Amino acid sequence: MWLAERRLRRVAADGSVATVRVRIGQPRTHRDDCVCAVELDSGSGPASRHEIHGVDAWQAIVLAMGFARAMLQAQLRQGHRLLWPDDDEPYALDDLFPSAK
């Protein structure tokens, strides 16, 4: 079960376009800690899925969000562009992952 999902369009360096889904799973208990799944799915090939552990649900969610951001930053470093799904407006990671002030 997914706690949250965001869809973006990714334009690769070669010009190909894909819809990317970023998902954060609901925290679940695993032994002495909590785990949140993080998934990045571009529809081409298997989704990249990771389990992020925290000491409790709060930490697992916070760490999962940070990991999701790092996954998207890696896409940008590879020369991809991230856009809002319905137009060609650039999607800033700070819009998806605002920092507390």
Cα–Cα distance measured from residue 23 to residue 32, given in angstroms and rounded to the nearest whole number: 24
Longest dimension (CA), the chain: 46
- pLDDT, tens digit, for every residue of 64-101? 999 999 999 999 999 999 999 888 899 889 888 887 66
Residue 55 binned pLDDT confidence (cut-offs 50, 70, 90) = very high
Which pLDDT score is estimated for 98? 83
SS3 14: coil
Residues in contact with 67: Cβ distance below 8 Å, sequence separation at least 6, in sequence order? 38, 50, 52
Residue 59 in any domain: the answer is: yes
Tell me how many domains the chain contains: 1
Give the mean model confidence (pLDDT) for residues 11-24.
93
Residue 58: domain span? 2-96
Cα–Cα distance measured from residue 95 to residue 45, given in angstroms and rounded to the nearest whole number: 27
Residue 101 in any domain: the answer is: no
SS3 101: coil
- pLDDT, tens digit, for every residue of 84-93? 988 889 988 9
